[in-house]
Amino acid sequence: MNDLRRCLLDLDVAAIRALWAQQAHLPQPATAAEALASLHYARTAAESIPLEARVYSHRWLLDHDLPSGLPDELRHRAERLYPVVHEGVAIVVMGTSPLTREVAPLIRSAMGDAVEECYADGRREPEIVRPRMLEARALVTRQLLGVRV
């Protein structure tokens, strides 16, 4: 097996950088992270690489907001092997009285803002997000009732 193919299969960043250094006519990746991204892209495009490795690299590239070289006809198989996980938070504010229905959008908005703040801080754990949502709901409820905070 040639060295380049072995580097692609093993995602061997150090070895691929050494190979690039030997080939003066090839542009050099500035960092190990760039070399790794290049390896992943090359794996998606190389027909000689097993499908599982190509699909893994496809998902890795998409997860890092990078383009993939996987052909369109293989992308549906890639999604089955490595499905995309979509996160979500449910915010439900219910009530039967006219007053509750009137203030529900304000409470829902405050709870949504709390979730967005948590996500912006990189905190997606339910044990962090849920208490923050409940704090926001309590704060808005107290403000609406005229209780000093």
Domain span at residue 108? 98-145
Residue 92 domain-assigned (yes or no): no
pTM: predicted TM-score of the whole model, two decimal places: 0.56
* pLDDT < 70 positions in the chain: 1, 24, 26, 149
Q: Are residues 76 and 131 in the same domain?
A: no
Q: What is the pLDDT of residue 8?
A: 87
Q: Are residues 37 and 75 in the same domain?
A: yes
Q: What is the pLDDT of residue 144?
A: 87
Listed residues 52, 81, 110: the one ending a domain: 81
Q: How many domains does the chain have?
A: 2
Alpha helices in the chain (DSSP H): 3-10, 13-22, 32-45, 51-63, 72-81, 98-120, 126-145
Q: Are residues 76 and 10 in the same domain?
A: yes
Q: What is the pLDDT of residue 127?
A: 94
Listed residues 47, 81, 115: the one ending a domain: 81
**DSSP code of 29?**
P
Please name which of 38, 36, 37, 14 lies closest in space to residue 26, comparing C-alpha atoms: 38
Residue 93 domain-assigned (yes or no): no
Q: Are residues 16 and 74 in the same domain?
A: yes
Q: What is the pLDDT of residue 5?
A: 87
Q: Are residues 23 and 68 in the same domain?
A: yes
Q: What is the tens place of the pLDDT at every residue in 97-114?
A: 888 888 899 999 999 999
